[in-house]
Amino acid sequence: MTTLIDKTVMITGGTGSFGKAVLHRLLAEDEIARIVVYSRDEKKQHDMRLAFNHPKIQFEIGDVRDERRIMRAMHGVDMVFHAAAMKQVPSCEFFPMEAVQTNIIGTNNVIDAALQHGVERLVVLSTDKAAYPVNAMGCSKMMMEKLMIARAQAQKPLDPTVMCGVRYGNVLYSRGSVVPLFVEQIRRGSPLTVTHPGMTRFLMPLREAIDLVLHALKHGGNGDLFIRKAPASTIGDLAQACLKLFGADNPVGIIGIRAGEKMHETLATAEELARAEDQGDYWRIPCDTGQKFDKYYVEGSPELDSIRPFDSENATRLSITAVEELLRSLPEISAVLG
């Protein structure tokens, strides 16, 4: 099992929600040598530098789109968490080539740099929207996964770098989560805007997303994709849980499903589950190492008729009370509640 003793870890997109949270977790590992926070946002880096004020943290300004910059910044790095991405569905819908530049080409640049420097392990972070994608963000993340898997398959037996990935759904209170919007609407006394009350989404606190990424880092093989068996909730129940949590009676307004949205998200497709390894809280989706074209053309998948995808409609459904308790456990909610 891989350890972090005396290792240098880089977090691309390290000033985002995941980066901040995993930084706290990594700093609790006394044996870690250095953490490189790589991002293009100088203001967020400045704020993090003041907030953490820790000698093991090194800040690097740069964009994953810049191949030469990421190549220089990765010198001396042992492990990489690749979290830099365009994540907002509307932004990617309106500017799809920007999503391509960051989520696909940027990922290829990170992989090139990792291979060039002999990085031990690279974990790429993906989203449920990459499974059966219907929007530009999901398509770009699906291609990111395919790119990682293809590059892993092309590895030679003695190549030092192991590449794997994780896929998870909505992280509560992260950038893009609806929960901060609901909290702000409750505090303003305005209606809670719900797309469709029956729409379902996976719910995961950030701590569980970090557990998933660290599990992949320590146990992943080349081309593996790890998925956590997360519970789900309807958007209507999530809104009601927020209202109960704050003792509020704001009205709920239905605005309708927007372009690029699905009623239910998928974390693991039926095709993936047909070859998945059940690891309890996680599924491991392996890939075949080596570009075996003959095998690709002559060997098919197992029978799929009896296998259902793991989506937010058939996942464990949380009650309003259970969602409320989950929200109450979030440090961001505790700070708001006082």
The band of 321, judged by pLDDT with boundaries at 50, 70 and 90, is very high
Of the candidates 20, 87, 129, 141, the residue annotated as catalytic is 129
What pLDDT digit, counting tens, does each position of 257-292 carry? 988 889 999 999 999 999 899 999 999 999 865 666
What percent of the chain is helix, strand and coil (3-state, nearest 5)? Answer: 40, 20, 40
Q: For residue 299, what pLDDT is reported? A: 65
What pLDDT digit, counting tens, does each position of 31-46 carry? 899 999 999 999 999 9
Those residues whose C-beta lies under 8 Å from the C-beta of residue 65, and which sit 6 or more positions away, are 101, 102, 105, 106, 109
Average pLDDT, the chain: 93
CATH of domain 8-234+262-337: 3.40.50.720
Q: DSSP class of residue 101? A: I
What pLDDT digit, counting tens, does each position of 104-128 carry? 999 999 999 999 999 999 999 999 9
Q: Which stretches within the chain are classed as H helix?
A: 17-27, 42-52, 67-73, 89-94, 96-99, 106-116, 136-153, 178-188, 206-219, 235-246, 270-273, 293-298, 320-328, 331-337
Considering only CA atoms, which of 183, 205, 201, 200 is closest in space to residue 192? 183
The band of 225, judged by pLDDT with boundaries at 50, 70 and 90, is very high
Residue 17 pLDDT > 70 = yes
Q: Is 129 a catalytic residue?
A: yes
Q: For residue 131, what pLDDT is reported? A: 97
Those residues whose C-beta lies under 8 Å from the C-beta of residue 145, and which sit 6 or more positions away, are 124, 126, 130, 165, 167, 225
The band of 159, judged by pLDDT with boundaries at 50, 70 and 90, is confident
The pTM score is 0.93
Residue 296 pLDDT > 70 = no
Query: What Å distances lie between residue 249 and 121, 191, 242, CA to CA?
Result: 49, 9, 10
Query: What Å distances lie between residue 287 and 28, 133, 157, CA to CA?
Result: 33, 20, 15
> Whole-angstrom Cα distance, residue 23 to residue 15?
10
Considering only CA atoms, which of 217, 288, 169, 256 is closest in space to residue 1? 217
Length of the chain: 338
What pLDDT digit, counting tens, does each position of 184-200 carry? 999 999 999 999 999 99
The band of 3, judged by pLDDT with boundaries at 50, 70 and 90, is confident
What pLDDT digit, counting tens, does each position of 48-96 carry? 999 999 999 999 999 999 999 999 999 999 999 999 999 999 999 999 9
Residue 304 pLDDT > 80 = no
Q: For residue 1, what pLDDT is reported? A: 61
Tokens of 243: 């209202």
What pLDDT digit, counting tens, does each position of 133-153 carry? 999 999 999 999 999 999 999
Q: For residue 40, what pLDDT is reported? A: 95
Give the 3-state secondary structure of residue 196.
Answer: coil
